[in-house]
Structure formats: structure tokens, C-alpha cells
Amino acid sequence: MSVAIEVQGLHKSYGDVEAVKGIDLSIDAGEVFALLGPNGAGKTTTVEILEGHRKATQGSVSVLGHDPALAERDFKDRVGIVLQESSVEKELTVREALSIYGGSYSKRLEVDNLIDIVGLHEKADARIGTLSGGQKRRLELALGIVGDPDLIFLDEPTTGFDPSARRDAWKVIDNLRSLGKTILLTTHYMDEAQNLSDRVAVIADGVIVAEGTPDTLGGRELAATRISFRVPDGATLPSDFQISNGVASVQSGEPTKALHKITGWAIDNGHELEDLSVTRPSLEEIYLALTEAE
């Protein structure tokens, strides 16, 4: 599989402030890669260097075989960018904007097709100034893919979306993945990273603190499994449970055995275990543990 993005020893300083302090990344073609991290961790700076909007202070960057800092037309032709903060001309209609911005790409999607993909039919001929926040974001997504790019940068693509708009956007992104596009997204939402990405990296304070699949990040697959349930009325629990708010929980490296013991105990004592659940730590818990350490 060919490599879409290769970054080594990336540094970026603004004055004496180092925003990015040595990042290495390798993203394969066709991969959906999520960059997670708190505000100010260096996510957007890193992505903007890869897009060609900023120049690296130090380090080597190769995106689709190009140095993005050179701003070559062939490079931009193959890349779609959905910026975190920018706007589209409110004086134009959705259709006009897609047609104008599409004009400079060597292969571009039909405007009507694109409007279909992001579900903006009823707004196709409306001025952009009249769109809701979620509709504007969907238009920006459409503008990001108007040139049928091989690589798509999505900087917080669903921030500010309501849950159903988010699901819709995920469908679009998942569709792009099935077309073989490489996608680099940044997000604050763990469920988004979990749902969309093949691989995840967590940036904190300008460096990558963990990298892996959503299921293995930060040793998630090795972490102890947690079993919890609501304490039955009048039950006396074995001593190794933690109880808070009436919910008992236990962590175990051997969840099958532990669960067997618990259910055996419950059956023997005639209890029904309400809210019984067996979970590994969520991606969010792993993420918080990783970023709070900084």
C-alpha cells in the first residue's frame, strides 16, 4: 500500500513558542486517520502544514509525494480541505459556490451530484447567507470534495452539529472511505474517531503521546475489563466490589471468570442484576488519561 502522508521530525514555532515539538506520522493511502487532542495541542497547526497553509519550522513533510509548502497546482488539485474556521461568500447560492470553486479542479464532481451527497437539495438555489450553521458546514464539506480529491483534510468536520446531522456527515465520510479516499480528520469527539477512523493519534502539547487503532489506543485492549451492576436491595456483596451511587463495579483481567462468579452468586442468592454491563475503558477514558498526564 502506498503512503499518502509521511512526516518526520516536524517542528513549528511561532516566535519563541513551540506549537509542534517533533511529530512523526505515516498515513497510508486509503486510510482514515484521526488526530485527537485538546485545543492548543498542535492539531490544527499540524494539519495546516500538511495542507500547505503554513510552513514547517523544521522537519520533512511529504503529502501525496509533494512538499505542500511549494503550493503546487498539481498538489492542490488532488487535495480537498475542509477548514475549521472559514466562510463561504454569503452572497452566492449553494449551486453557484460549488460551480465556481469546482472550476479550477481537473476532475470535479457534478454540482447536482454533490448537492445530493451532502443533502442540500432544498437549499441548492438559496443564498448561502440564509443557511443554518449545520447546512453551512455541509456546504463546506461539499466544497472540500468538489475536486474529487485523493486526500481529504477535515478539521473538526462536525463541530456544532446536532446528533442527526452528525450521523449524516459520518455517512458521507464513510462513503468517501469506501471510494478509497485518504482522510485525515481532527476531532474532539471520541465517538467520531471510534466510528470513522482506522487509526488514531493523540497529540498533547505538540507531541504525539499515543497512536493506534481506536480499539488498541493506549493499551486499551489490554486494560482491565470493568463489570458493573446495580446493587440488589438487601444484598451483601463480596468484598472486592467498589460501590458508588448504588452501582457496584469490579475491574478484572479475567472477565469471563469474574462474570461467572458474579452471576453464580446472584443466582444462588436469588438476585436479579439490573444494569449489568461488561465494558472495556472507553476511548474517551483512555484519551483523558493520556492528555491529563501532560
Partner 1 sequence: MARLSTAGLIRQQVGYELKMFIRTPIAAFFTLIFPLLLLFIFGALFGNEEIPELGITVAQYFAPALAVFSAASATYTNIGVFTSFQRDEGILKRVRGTPLPPWIFFVGKMLSSFLIAAAAVSAMMLVGVLVYDIQIMASTLPAAIISFFAGVICFAALGLLVAAVAPSGNAATAIANSTLLPLAFFSGLFIPLTDDSPTWLVTLGDIFPLKHFNDAFQAAFLPTTTGAGFDWPAIGYMLLWAAVAMLLALRLFKWESRSGGSEKNRAKAMS
Residues 110 and 104: their CA atoms lie apart, in Å, by 13
Cβ distance to partner 1 smaller for residue 72 or 221 = 72
How far is residue 36 from each of residues 126, 183, 200, 237, measured CA to CA in Å?
Answer: 35, 14, 7, 40
Cβ distance to partner 1 smaller for residue 60 or 104 = 104
Give the shortest CB-196-to-partner 1 separation in angstroms: 22
> How many CB atoms lie under 10 A from the CB of residue 223?
15
Give the shortest CB-156-to-partner 1 separation in angstroms: 11
Cβ distance to partner 1 smaller for residue 54 or 166 = 54
The footprint of partner 1 (CB under 8 A) covers 14, 17, 19, 39-40, 42, 44-45, 48, 51-53, 71, 73-74, 76-77, 79, 81, 83-89, 91-92, 96, 100-110, 143, 147
Give the shortest CB-249-to-partner 1 separation in angstroms: 36
Angle between helices 133-145 and 94-102 (to 10 degrees): 20
Closest CA to 166 of 154, 148, 152, 178: 154
Phi and psi, residue 46, nearest 5°: -60, -50
CA 23, 147, 83, 191 torsion-angle sign: negative
Give the shortest CB-90-to-partner 1 separation in angstroms: 9
Cβ distance to partner 1 smaller for residue 60 or 86 = 86
Cβ distance to partner 1 smaller for residue 39 or 244 = 39
> How many CB atoms lie under 10 A from the CB of residue 103?
10
Cβ distance to partner 1 smaller for residue 4 or 109 = 109
β-bridge mates for residue 151, sequence order: 79, 182
Cβ distance to partner 1 smaller for residue 103 or 160 = 103
Closest CA to 129 of 89, 98, 97, 167: 89
Give the shortest CB-104-to-partner 1 separation in angstroms: 4
Are 186 and 155 in contact by the 8 Å Cβ rule? The answer is yes
